[in-house]
């Protein structure tokens, strides 16, 4: 059986959605097919997002920025938006059953030295981690009850 696709959306698909994708994929394993995209992709994954996840053992260095329209012809069971703009721009996807909005501050707007910017990336990373690990645990519990 093919695992359900979870699509995590953000506006730029450069930070929050990639961090969430990496964490949910790590937490859910083969249970879910986790992808991310943006309504207005930045064209890159922010280097500090890659660094923040590497600090906790998750490699997103091979990720790339994608437009949400790439998924309009695919079965997407659940759409999770992680920023307000993506929530407003989000279309319905084929097979979509669930839609959640869990907004997080955009660390790409952090200012100051790289160390100061990393503080914000780490804080947002840890917030995303708590939410998406809890979501994965709930999905695993639900799978066990079938």
Catalytic residue among 83, 86, 118, 120: 83
Q: State the pLDDT at residue 146.
A: 36
Within its chain, how far is the Cα of 9 from the centroid?
A: 7
> Does residue 145 carry a pLDDT above 60?
no
> Does the annotation mark 15 as catalytic?
no
Task: Give residue-wise pLDDT tens across range 39-85.
Answer: 899 999 999 999 999 999 999 999 999 999 999 898 999 999 998 77
Q: State the pLDDT at residue 141.
A: 87
Catalytic residue among 10, 48, 49, 80: 10
Q: How many domains does the chain have?
A: 1
Catalytic residue among 24, 58, 90, 124: 90
Q: State the pLDDT at residue 94.
A: 72
In a domain, 29, yes or no: yes
Task: Give residue-wise pLDDT tens across range 81-137.
Answer: 998 776 666 677 777 789 899 999 999 999 999 999 999 999 999 999 999 999 999
Q: What CATH number is given to the structural domain containing 52?
A: 3.40.50.2300
Q: State the pLDDT at residue 84.
A: 74
Tokens of 50: 């890659």
Confirm if 37 and 17 have CB atoms less than 8 A apart. yes
In a domain, 146, yes or no: no
> Does the annotation mark 10 as catalytic?
yes
pTM of the shown model: 0.92
Domain assignment of residue 122, given as a range: 5-141
CB neighbour list of residue 11: distance below 8 Å, 6 or more residues apart = 38, 39, 40, 83, 85, 86, 89
């Amino acid at each position: 059986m093919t695992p359900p696709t979870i699509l995590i959306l953000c506006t730029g698909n450069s930070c929050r959605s990639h961090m969430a994708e990496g964490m949910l994929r790590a937490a859910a394993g083969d249970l879910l097919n986790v992808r991310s995209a943006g309504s207005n992709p930045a064209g890159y994954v922010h280097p500090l997002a890659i660094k923040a996840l590497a600090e906790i053992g998750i490699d997103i260095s091979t990720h790339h920025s994608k437009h949400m329209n790439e998924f309009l012809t695919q079965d997407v069971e659940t759409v999770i938006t992680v920023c307000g703009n993506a929530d407003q721009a989000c279309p319905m996807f084929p097979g979509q059953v669930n839609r959640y909005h869990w907004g997080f501050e955009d660390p790409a707007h952090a200012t100051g030295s790289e160390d100061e910017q990393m503080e914000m990336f780490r804080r947002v990373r840890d917030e995303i981690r708590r939410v998406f690990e809890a979501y994965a645990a709930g999905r695993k519990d639900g799978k066990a009850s079938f």
